[in-house]
């Protein structure tokens, strides 16, 4: 029986789809593609279980994720090839690896607030699936695949560039670290050494979550030149201490990029 509650659910979901379309800048001619991109396998399998004996398989986002990953790699590679003709193959590969990495994509997915749009099974919902990095990244890549199928590469390209590639590249270029993006800690160390400044202190300030899924919070404390006081503190979370330290180091580099250069001996 079709109940009023079902109408409310459909209406709400349609409104949420429209909201996400506005965020990503594309209105789907085939909105079912976007719905599939947001559907985790747990939800699809639960829906199938409600129809025992049926041979119809509910779609989830796994194949779209596979396609979106390839589209992301192609668009990113083209942009780097065009933008950095002076880079070696190794430098281009490292830069691309960062831009398509899970660590970078999770920050994009969180900024787009993709968690609120996911279609999850009850188990994933109860276990905090809306904030799981793997699910968010998979959904982001699936959305890219859905846009590609719905409107082609020329529509997917600006979405990828504007939301994923260019903001990060602009940060690297402004800091002069585009060739070192895979190791922010080393880039920060080299910069501070060149400026004669003390190295930052990396401090574990929190550790939470079950043993198999811990989250570490690290502070990178930048010391002021001369007096040893803390000039700037960056805080970052990660699934490992190393990842959190790298993100904190990136924040310190971004802070330094906004500061006026210190002239040797105060001379102009």
Alpha-carbon distance of 235 to 217, in angstroms, equals: 7
The pLDDT score that the predictor gives to residue 266 is 40
Q: Are residues 82 and 36 in the same domain?
A: yes
Mean per-residue pLDDT, 149-157: 97
Helix (H) or strand (E) holding 195: none
For the entire predicted model, the pTM comes to 0.62
Looking at 123, 144, 178, the residue that finishes a domain is 178
Helix (H, G, I), strand (E, B) or coil at 181: coil
Strand order in the sheet with 230-238: 201-208, 215-223, 230-238
Domain assignment present for residue 108? The answer is yes
Q: Are residues 123 and 225 in the same domain?
A: no
For the domain that residue 117 is a member of, what is the CATH number?
A: 1.10.1520.10
Q: Are residues 81 and 55 in the same domain?
A: yes
Does residue 210 carry a pLDDT above 50?
yes
Single out the residue of 215, 218, 222, 182 nearest to residue 201, CA to CA. 222
Domain assignment present for residue 4? The answer is no
Domain assignment present for residue 250? The answer is yes
Q: What is the pLDDT of residues 43-54, one digit of tens each?
A: 766 665 566 655
Domain span at residue 223? 184-260
Looking at 178, 206, 223, the residue that finishes a domain is 178
CA torsion sign for 211, 108, 176, 82 is positive
Average pLDDT of the residues of the chain: 82
Q: Are residues 87 and 63 in the same domain?
A: yes
Domain assignment present for residue 268? The answer is no
Q: Are residues 103 and 196 in the same domain?
A: no
Cα end-to-end distance, the chain, whole Å: 80
Q: Are residues 40 and 146 in the same domain?
A: yes
Of residues 239 and 13, which shows the higher confidence score? Answer: 239
Q: Are residues 28 and 158 in the same domain?
A: yes
The pLDDT score that the predictor gives to residue 264 is 43
The pLDDT score that the predictor gives to residue 235 is 94
Domain assignment present for residue 78? The answer is yes
Domain assignment present for residue 23? The answer is yes
In this structure, are residues 198 and 223 in contact, taking their beta carbons and an 8 Å threshold?
Answer: yes
φ, ψ of residue 160 to 5 degrees: the values are -65, -45
Q: Are residues 30 and 138 in the same domain?
A: yes
Looking at 162, 178, 194, the residue that finishes a domain is 178
The pLDDT score that the predictor gives to residue 51 is 60
Alpha-carbon distance of 22 to 45, in angstroms, equals: 29
Alpha-carbon distance of 144 to 138, in angstroms, equals: 10
Q: Are residues 43 and 155 in the same domain?
A: yes
Count the domains in the chain.
2
The residues assigned a catalytic role are 69, 141
Domain assignment present for residue 191? The answer is yes
Q: What is the pLDDT of residues 154-190, one digit of tens each?
A: 999 999 999 999 998 887 766 665 555 556 787 788 7
Q: Are residues 164 and 32 in the same domain?
A: yes
Q: Are residues 39 and 134 in the same domain?
A: yes
Q: What is the pLDDT of residues 239-262, one digit of tens each?
A: 888 878 988 988 898 888 777 554
DSSP states of 79-117: HHHHH-TTS-HHHHHHHHHHHTSHHHHHHHHHHTTGGGG
Q: Are residues 219 and 247 in the same domain?
A: yes
Alpha-carbon distance of 78 to 265, in angstroms, equals: 44
């Amino acid at each position: 029986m079709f109940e009023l509650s079902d109408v409310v659910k459909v209406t709400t979901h349609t409104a949420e789809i429209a909201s996400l379309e506005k965020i990503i800048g594309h209105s789907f001619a085939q909105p079912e593609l976007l719905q599939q991109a947001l559907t985790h396998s747990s939800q699809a399998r639960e829906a199938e279980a409600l129809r025992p004996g049926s041979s119809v398989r509910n779609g989830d986002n796994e194949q779209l994720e596979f396609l979106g990953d390839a589209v992301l790699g192609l668009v990113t590679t083209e942009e780097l090839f065009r933008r950095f003709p002076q880079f070696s193959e190794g430098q281009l590969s490292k830069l691309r690896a960062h831009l398509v990495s899970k660590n970078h994509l999770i920050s994009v997915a969180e900024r787009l607030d993709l968690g609120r749009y996911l279609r999850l099974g009850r188990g994933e919902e109860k276990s905090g699936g809306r904030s799981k990095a793997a699910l968010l990244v998979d959904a982001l890549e699936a959305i890219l695949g859905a846009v590609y199928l719905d409107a082609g590469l020329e529509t997917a390209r600006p979405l990828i560039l504007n939301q994923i590639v260019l903001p990060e590249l602009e940060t690297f270029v402004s800091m002069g670290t585009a060739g070192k993006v895979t190791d922010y800690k080393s880039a920060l160390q080299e910069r501070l050494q060149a400026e004669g400044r003390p190295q930052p202190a990396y401090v574990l300030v929190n550790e939470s979550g079950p043993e198999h899924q811990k989250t570490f919070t690290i502070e990178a404390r930048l010391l002021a030149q001369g007096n040893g006081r803390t000039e700037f503190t960056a805080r970052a979370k990660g699934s490992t201490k190393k990842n959190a330290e790298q993100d904190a180091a990136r924040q310190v580099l971004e802070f330094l990029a906004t500061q006026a250069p210190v002239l040797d001996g105060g001379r102009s």
